[in-house]
C-alpha cells in the first residue's frame, strides 16, 4: 500500500523526542532559527535556514512517513524515499550569481527525481539571503526566477501543467537552501481565480516569470495533501494595500480561502478531525507579529499549527506571506 506523509512543527525542547520517535521513518528535517547549531540526525536529510523564529528560539519542520524510509545521496542531494514519495535537500554556498546557482540546483533536482523514478515535483521551498538586493543590475529574486525557469525548460517540463507549488523567501544570511517533495504519480496543480498565474505574469516582474503553481493537490494511500504556495496580498498580478499589514493579511486570507475552495472542488475534505493544517507565516517586520498572530488564531483556531518567521518577501511592497500544508488522514 502507498505510504502517506506525516508532518510536525516542533519547537525548542520537543525536537529531540520527535526525532527519536520518527527514526526509521524520517524523510527529512529542516531547522529554522537565527543561530547556528542544532541536532542533525545521521543519515537523514537535514538543512538549517538562518531565519529568526518569532516567539521561539528555533523550530524544526519534520517530514516522515508511515512506511520505513530509505536514505540516499545523489547529485549532491541528501534525501530519503519510500515506494511512492521522495524528499530531498540541496544546500549551496552563496557568493556568486544567484541565477546560475539556482539553475545548478534545479538541474540536480531534476536529474535526481528523473533517475530515481519520482519525476513529479509536488512542492519546493527556496531560501536565500539578499532576496531584494540588486545583483548585476537585477534584483536577486528576479535572477533566481530566471535560473529556475530556465532549468524547467531545459529538463523538458511544461510550464503550467508540470509546475510544482513553491515559495521563495529571503534569509538574513546563509546558503541557498532548497528542499522538495516529489512523487511517482503527478498531483493536480491548482490556480487562484483571484490571481493571474505566476508563470503568466507580465514582463514587468522580470525577464522570466516565477515558475510555480498557486497550490498542488496530491493523493497517496487514501491521503489527500494540499500544498499551498507562498500566498500574499496580490490580486491579478498586482500588490494591493501597500504599507498596510492588516489589510494585506486580510487579502492573503481571502487568497488562501480561494485556493481551499479550488481544492475542495477537486476532492479535498473541507474540514473535520481527519484534517490537519500547518502554516508558516513570514513577516517582513517583527513588530507585526502580535497582531498577525492574533488574527490567524482567530481565523484558524486550534485546527492549525502556525509558526511565525522574520523574513524578506519576494516583493519589497509585500509585508507578509503565508504558506501551508493541509493533510487528511491516510486510512
Region 188-217: mean pLDDT is 96
Per-residue pLDDT reduced to its tens digit, 137-184: 999 999 999 999 999 999 999 898 789 999 999 998 989 999 999 999
63 grid coordinates: 517530514
**Structural domain boundaries of the chain?**
5-328
Mean of per-residue pLDDT scores for the chain: 92
Decide: helix, strand or coil at residue 126: strand
Q: What is the pLDDT of residue 212?
A: 97
Q: What percent of the chain has pLDDT over 90?
A: 79
Phi, psi of 258, rounded to the nearest 5 degrees: -65, -40
Per-residue pLDDT reduced to its tens digit, 256-291: 999 999 999 998 887 655 579 999 999 999 999 999
| Residue found by looking up cell 516569470 in the block | 209
The residues, ordered by sequence, that sit 6+ positions from 52 with a Cβ below 8 Å of its Cβ are 33, 34, 172, 286, 309, 310
89: left (phi over 0), alpha (psi -120 to 50) or beta: beta
Asked if 8 is an active-site residue, the reply is no
Q: What is the pLDDT of residue 329?
A: 72
DSSP assignment string, 254-269: HHHHHHHHHHHHTT--
Architecture of domain 5-328: 2-Layer Sandwich (3.30)
Region 311-319: mean pLDDT is 98
200 grid coordinates: 503568466
- CB of 226 closer than 8 Å to CB of 268: yes
Active-site residue identified among 191, 251, 321, 323: 321
Region 223-233: mean pLDDT is 96
Cα–Cα dist 41/57, whole Å: 20
C-alpha atoms less than 13 angstroms from C-alpha of 322 in its C-beta half-sphere:
29
36 grid coordinates: 547556528
The alpha carbon of 48 is separated from its chain's Cα centroid by a whole number of angstroms, namely: 14
- CB of 218 closer than 8 Å to CB of 225: yes
pLDDT band at 331; cut points 50, 70, 90: very low
Spatial CA neighbour of 72 closest among 60, 89, 92, 84: 89
Bridge partners for 90 per DSSP: 178
- CB of 171 closer than 8 Å to CB of 129: yes
- Taking the CB of residue 74, how many other CB atoms lie within 10 A of it? 14
Can you give 205-220 as a three-state secondary structure string? Answer: HCCCCCCCECEEEEEE
Cα–Cα dist 202/208, whole Å: 9
Region 46-60: mean pLDDT is 92
Lowest mean pLDDT among 2-16, 187-201, 235-249: 2-16
Spatial CA neighbour of 228 closest among 200, 261, 256, 267: 256
Q: What is the pLDDT of residue 162?
A: 80
Q: What DSSP designation does 160 have? A: T
pLDDT band at 299; cut points 50, 70, 90: very high
**pLDDT over 90 at 34, yes or no:** no
The C-alpha angle 57, 310, 150, rounded to 5 degrees, equals 120
83 grid coordinates: 515506494
- CB of 269 closer than 8 Å to CB of 329: no
Amino acid at each position: 500500500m502507498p505510504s502517506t506523509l506525516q508532518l510536525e512543527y516542533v519547537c525548542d525542547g520537543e525536537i529531540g523526542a520527535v526525532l527519536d520517535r520518527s527514526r526509521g521513518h524520517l524523510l527529512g528535517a529542516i531547522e529554522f532559527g537565527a543561530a547556528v547549531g542544532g541536532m542533525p540526525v545521521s543519515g537523514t536529510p537535514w538543512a538549517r535556514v538562518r531565519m529568526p523564529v518569532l516567539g521561539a528560539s528555533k523550530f524544526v519542520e519534520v517530514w516522515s512517513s508511515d512506511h520505513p524510509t530509505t536514505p540516499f545521496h545523489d547529485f549532491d542531494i541528501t534525501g530519503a524515499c519510500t515506494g511512492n514519495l521522495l524528499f530531498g535537500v540541496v544546500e549551496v554556498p552563496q557568493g556568486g550569481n544567484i541565477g546560475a546557482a539556482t539553475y545548478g540546483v534545479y538541474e540536480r533536482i531534476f536529474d535526481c527525481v528523473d533517475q530515481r523514478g519520482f519525476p513529479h515535483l509536488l512542492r519546493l521551498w527556496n531560501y536565500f539571503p539578499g532576496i531584494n538586493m540588486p545583483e548585476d543590475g537585477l534584483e536577486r529574486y528576479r535572477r533566481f526566477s530566471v535560473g529556475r525557469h530556465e532549468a524547467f525548460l531545459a529538463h523538458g517540463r511544461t510550464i503550467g501543467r508540470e509546475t510544482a507549488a513553491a515559495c521563495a523567501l529571503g534569509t538574513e544570511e546563509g546558503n541557498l537552501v532548497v528542499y522538495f517533495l516529489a512523487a511517482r504519480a503527478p498531483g493536480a496543480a491548482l490556480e487562484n481565480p483571484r490571481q493571474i498565474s505566476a508563470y503568466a505574469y507580465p514582463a514587468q516582474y522580470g525577464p522570466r516569470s516565477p515558475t510555480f503553481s498557486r497550490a498542488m493537490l496530491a493523493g497517496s494511500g487514501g491521503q489527500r495533501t494540499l500544498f499551498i504556495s507562498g500566498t500574499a496580498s496580490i490580486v491579478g498580478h498586482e500588490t494591493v494595500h501597500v504599507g498596510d499589514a492588516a489589510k494585506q493579511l486580510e487579502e492573503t486570507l481571502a487568497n488562501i480561502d480561494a485556493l481551499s475552495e479550488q481544492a475542495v472542488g477537486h476532492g479535498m475534505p473541507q474540514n473535520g478531525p481527519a484534517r490537519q493544517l500547518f502554516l508558516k507565516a513570514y513577516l517582513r517586520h517583527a513588530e507585526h507579529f502580535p497582531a498577525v498572530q492574533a488574527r490567524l488564531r482567530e481565523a484558524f483556531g486550534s485546527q492549525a499549527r502556525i509558526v511565525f518567521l522574520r523574513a524578506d518577501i519576494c516583493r519589497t511592497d509585500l509585508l507578509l506571506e503565508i504558506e501551508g500544508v493541509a493533510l487528511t488522514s491516510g486510512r
